Amino acid sequence: MKKIFALLIMALFASQAMAQINLQDSTVQVVAYWEKGDKYTYDVNYSKYVVENGDTTKLYDNFTKYTIEVTDSTGTGYKLKCIQEMAVLGMDPDNPITKIIYKHLEDVTVPVVFNTDQYGTITGIDNMEQIRQQITEGLKIVVEDCKKEIDGMTAGLTDEQKQQFSEMVNQVLNSILQAYSNENTVYKAYEEILTLFSFHGTKLDIGKRYRSETEESNPVLANTLLKVENMFAISQCDPESSWVGINMAKLYNSDQLKAGLVEAAKKMFPDKANEITAEMFGDYQLYLLTFVKVHTETGWPGYCVGELHSIREGKHEVSTYEVEMNLE
C-alpha cells in the first residue's frame, strides 16, 4: 500500500505528467455550461478490503446507479436532482439484517437536490427538510424490524443480560437516527458522486501544484467535521477532446479523527464513558487519493476514482470507488 501511495503522489507532482498538455493554454477552469433537462447516469462500483500482517482480504463489493438531472438553471446557479436508481449491496443475502435492509431500501432512499453556483460548485442541499423527514421515518421502520430480529437473538440470556443488550442496541440505533438527520451525513452518502464536482469553479494553472486546508465531512463519522490538508494538480489535459484530469490527495487530521471516535463511543456506551480515551485508538492515519476527469466545454464530469486508506494498529483498510458516466 505504501508503494501505491508513493506512486500516486509521484503522479500528482511529477513534471512528466504534463507531457500531453498544450502549454499554450496555461490555465484551465472547470465551469458548468448546463441546461435545464440535461440528464446523465453514472455507475458506481465500490469495494472494501483489509491488509493485515501482509494478507489481503476483500470484505465486500457494492454497485449503485445514479441519475443526475438539471432541474433548474438561472444566471446564478443550478439545481441538480440526484436519484439512486438501484443498489446491489455486497452483503450476505441470507443474513436476517441484510434482508431487512433490502426490504426497506426504498424507504430510506430519497432524491437529493443539490444547489450550485453559476460555475457548478455544490453550495448546499435544497430539500434537506424532506430528506430528514423521510430518512428518519424510514429508519424507524428499519429499527423496529431489527429489534424484532434481535429479540430472537437474545434467547437464552438472563433478563439482566437481555436488558443490557437491548440498551446497547437502542443507543446504537438512536445514534444512527440522529446521524441520518444531519446534512453532513447526506454529503457522506453521496461522496462518490460529489467527488465528480470537486473542482467546479476552480481555476488551475497547468504545471502548478496546489495545497489548501479545508474542513470537510468525516469519512468515518459522517456527522462530524475534520480539518483536511489537500494537495492537487492537473495530471492530464487533451485540448482536442476538451477533457482534463485532476489528481488530489487529502490528509485528514488524526487528532480530530480520534476525538470524534471517542465522542461516538461514549454516546454508545455511556456507562463506560470514563474509560474511553483517545489512546485506545492508537496511531490513526486517514487519507484519500482521487482522480477526476471533466469535460471543460460542457462542465460535465465523466469519470472519477478514489481510494480511502485507514491505517490503525497495523491494520490497513482500503475503500475504493470508481464512478463512470454511463453512455449506453
Tens digits of residue pLDDT in 134-165: 777 776 777 777 667 666 666 666 777 667 66
pLDDT in tens, 52-64: 777 888 888 888 8
Q: Domain count of the chain? A: 1
110-125 mean pLDDT: 93
pTM: 0.76
Q: Which domain holds residue 307?
A: 2-326
* pLDDT over 80 at 222, yes or no: no
In this predicted model, which residue has the larger pLDDT, 288 or 328? 288
Q: N- to C-terminal Cα distance for the chain?
A: 35
Q: Is the pLDDT of residue 48 over 70?
A: yes
C-alpha cell belonging to residue 211 = 495545497
Does residue 4 register a pLDDT over 50? Answer: no
Return the axis-axis angle of helices 159-179 and 128-153, rounded to nearest 10°: 160
Between 157 and 231, residue with greater pLDDT: 231
Mean of the per-residue pLDDT values of the chain = 79
| CA distances (Å), origin 211, targets 7, 201, 234, 243, 294 | 18, 16, 13, 23, 20
- What pLDDT sits at residue 91? 56
CATH code of 115's domain: 2.30.230
Q: Which of 19-28, 79-88, 180-189 has the lowest mean pLDDT?
A: 19-28
55 vs 48: CA distance, rounded Å? 14
pLDDT at 189: 79
Closest to 256 (Cα-Cα) out of 291, 216, 289: 216
Question: What's the pLDDT score for residue 80?
Answer: 97
Q: Which of 147-151, 210-214, 224-228 has the lowest mean pLDDT?
A: 147-151
Look at residues 281, 279, 286 and name the one whose alpha carbon lies nearest to residue 316: 286
Q: Please provide residue 327's backbone torsions phi and psi, each rounded to the nearest 5 degrees.
A: -100, 10
Query: pLDDT of 281-325, one tens digit each?
Result: 778 889 999 999 999 889 999 999 999 999 887 788 999 999 999
